[in-house]
Each structure stands twice: as structure tokens, then as C-alpha cells.
Chains A and B, each alone.
Chain A
């Protein structure tokens, strides 16, 4: 698992009043035309890089820089950082967060930690804090992101809590990264306001999807899982408003002990009522955040719900809907649904266990969340022949 933030990072040369810097790491001295004020240049051996700030992993190089030179010494744990990556740095505290990695296929912009849900299995527990500065940072960072980036996520917390700032961020993405697909994760409730939904669709981003969770086909169960009264109705109405405006919507279903009993009914419900959504993701649990704390009450072994998962996935598929299974190891699901199982775990989170080394289909399998290798299905076992499975 990659380390994406650090404290106590050594810095030097930055004026004492410097608050927060957004820096794009560069390999070497680029032609001056390509160098922006936010660029930070790699030094390996005390070479002259002009006036730009410097970054390095080597203590001796860092120490040997000329007096007054702005520089940051990155920890070894972040040695994956390279040209084009973007960091947020508070020089006075040595606080550093990685905002974007050019070589990663799964970059996400976390826009707030606030949320109006309190889901039993939240992987990113919300905080009730004023973090509006994050939007400021991202407005600075987005223009620095490589134009070749294929996809970028927008997540939280609940991004739409930012209201106009959230919409503004999408406009910035459209302006600076017109080739980049944007995937927003939202609970969808804000879109119950038709004006907000219309403002969202009016942005007319060329490649934008919003992923919205529906955990059950009955309101009380969904509301319980997200710990918010009235959430189900607002989310469903929000989706109707979004689709009325032509937005692309993905429905995301995390499977836990509490909703597995109605998973097939939920598939019926979606096929019947929300036929027009663009994608449905059936997702395994990520054991982190609240999910870790509540694990004993929400965990269900995938091997104990493979029947429900198979029927739900095949029903949605037969109904002409696009369906995917995320976060499940192939050895825990019925082979009849392997074709919709995706390698969904972000590169910085995924891992395999020793058993996997003997598996014939490891390359097609998404593996585990690094956080989840401790609690996994009791049925994990190497597949020896790609043509067979347990089910």
C-alpha cells in the first residue's frame, strides 16, 4: 500500500509566512517555456536548476544546496513519486499530501471530508470540519495535471456538500482536462433539488459519470445502512432528476450482511425502476474506516452470498443493463459471472496473499484491498484450471 501523505518532511528556504503550496514535481530543468511557477525540479547532484524550488530523496544533496534555495526532502516511502506528480506542501509544518500521480490509472481528488451520511461500512469516515480550503488547492492543482490523464475521480466525504464550489470544480476540470473522464462519487441526495441537478447537467462535461449508492430496495434498510432518515427517497429522486437532464449515472451497491438478503430484490427493483441508469456496480466490502470498526456486525463471507450475487448480476445483465462486480476475488464467485468481474481495486490499495501465487487466473483477478488481506473469505483458493471454479 502506497504512502500518500507524510508529516515532518524536511523543507528549507521557503519564506516563513508560506501557507500551502501546490507543487508539480519535474525531473529536470525543462525549457523555460514549460516551467510554471508551481514547478519543482528534481536535483540529484547539486546541479543548477535556476530559481525554481527543488525536490530530492537524498539527504546529502538536500543539505548541500546553496543558502536560500527552496527545497523539499521527500521520504524514502514516497520514492514512487516522479515527473508530473503533484503534491500539496505546508513548508512550516513539513506536511505533505500527494494529490496526483501521473503514472497511476486511478487518481482521485478528495474534495471534502464532510458528509451527510454515516454509513455503517464507510471506508473514509466523515469529519465535521471546515475544509473548504481543499477546493482552493484543487483549483490550483487541476491546471497542472497532465492533459493525457485518462480518468480522474472526485470523491469525499460528500462532494456535493460543496454546492457551487463542487460545480465550479467540474467546470475547471472540463476547461483544463477536456480529454479526461471524470468519475464523481456522491450519495446523490443534493440532486433532489432540480435546480442543482440542472446546474450539474448544464456543465455539459464531455465525459462525466456520477456513482451513487443504493443499498436496498426498501427505504428503511437503505436509510439504516447510511444512517440517515429520508435518504432513500432523496437519492432515488436525485437519480431521476439527473437522468431527466441526460447525466450519466452509475448505481453502486456495497454488499454487507445487512443488505445481502434483499440483494436479488434490489436487482429486480433497479431493472424495473431505474432501467435507464448507465452502469451498476456490485461491490465487495473494503475493510477500512468504519468497516474495520464494525466488521463483526457487517462482514459476510462472499462465499455465503455467491448465489444472491450471481442471480442479481445475471438478472441485471439479462435486463440489458451494464453490470460489474467489483472487489471480489474470482475464487469466491460463480464462474457464470466472471465475465463481469473487474479488476477494480486501485493500484495503491491492492494486494495478493501467498495462496494467490499458485493461481492460474491471478492476472484476471483484482486481488484484495491491502487492508483486507487479514479478513478475507475462508474459501480463497488458487484456481488451477481457468475452466473450473467451486460454484
Chain B
């Protein structure tokens, strides 16, 4: 029996390859996702691992869209906070005691 499939596209000028890939990875338990660049779009082809009802497919695709948006927000947070993160880790690993860090 054929397992169901679905295709989702994203504007490639808005989302990085990294973002799409990471989002797809979180669905690995439910589907294999093939990611291709086609012109100005990312084309994500879902091949589900088990038979699914159409409404469940729809829901999975919707939550994938949200996951891509979330992943994009995560990249922004990571970019904005990278330096802070490193400096906090540096302080945390230092031996300065409770004194304030200048």
C-alpha cells in the first residue's frame, strides 16, 4: 500500500536552508522530508511513514508551517544572543566568586 505524501513550499528569500532543514528534522518520526530549492521557493516533499487520515495530514502540514516560523524565530534569538551567551558562559566558568562582573 502506498503511504500518503504532501508538498509544502516556502519563500526562499524569507527562510534559510538551515531553518527548513531543522524544522523538517523534528518530523522525522512521522515522515521523511525531501527538501529542494526550486527558483524562489523551498519545496518540501513529505512522504509519511504510516497510513494517515487526510485531516491528520493536513494538521501535520500546518504544524510544519508553524515549526518553520518558530525555527525562524529561534535563529533570530540565537543570532541576537550569541555574544551574551558566550560572555555568560565565560563568567560562569570563571572563578570570580559572587563579585559583580564589570
Residue ranges of A at the interface with B (Cβ–Cβ < 8 Å)? 192, 194, 237, 240-241, 243-244
Contacts and interface: CB of A to CB of B under 8 A. Distances in A.
B92 to A, nearest CB: 14
Interface string B65-100: 000000000000000000000000000000001111
A243 B99 CA distance: 10
Contacts of B100: 192, 194, 237, 240-241
Interface string B14-38: 0000000000000000000000000
A169 B36 CA distance: 77
Interface of B: 97-100
A244 B97 CA distance: 7
A241 B98 CA distance: 7
Nearest to B96: A244
- Grouping DSSP codes into helix (H, G, I), strand (E, B) and loop, the B interface class, with mixed when no group exceeds half, is loop
Contacts of B97: 244
Contacts of B98: 240-241, 243-244
14 contacts: A192-B100, A194-B99, A194-B100, A237-B100, A240-B98, A240-B99, A240-B100, A241-B98, A241-B99, A241-B100, A243-B98, A244-B97, A244-B98, A244-B99
Given A237-B100, A240-B98, 12 more contacts: A192-B100, A194-B99, A194-B100, A240-B99, A240-B100, A241-B98, A241-B99, A241-B100, A243-B98, A244-B97, A244-B98, A244-B99
Closest 4 A/B residue pairs (Cβ): A244-B98, A240-B98, A237-B100, A244-B97
B99 to A, nearest CB: 6
A194 B101 CA distance: 12
A192 B100 CA distance: 9
B85 to A, nearest CB: 19
B66 to A, nearest CB: 29
A200 to B, nearest CB: 15
Contacts of A243: 98
A118 to B, nearest CB: 25
Contacts of B99: 194, 240-241, 244
A194 B98 CA distance: 11
A194 B99 CA distance: 8
Contacts of A194: 99-100
A113 to B, nearest CB: 30
A382 to B, nearest CB: 48
Nearest to B98: A244
Contacts of A237: 100
B98 to A, nearest CB: 3
Nearest to A243: B98
A241 B100 CA distance: 8
A244 B98 CA distance: 5
A239 to B, nearest CB: 9
A192 B99 CA distance: 10
A241 B97 CA distance: 9
Nearest to A237: B100
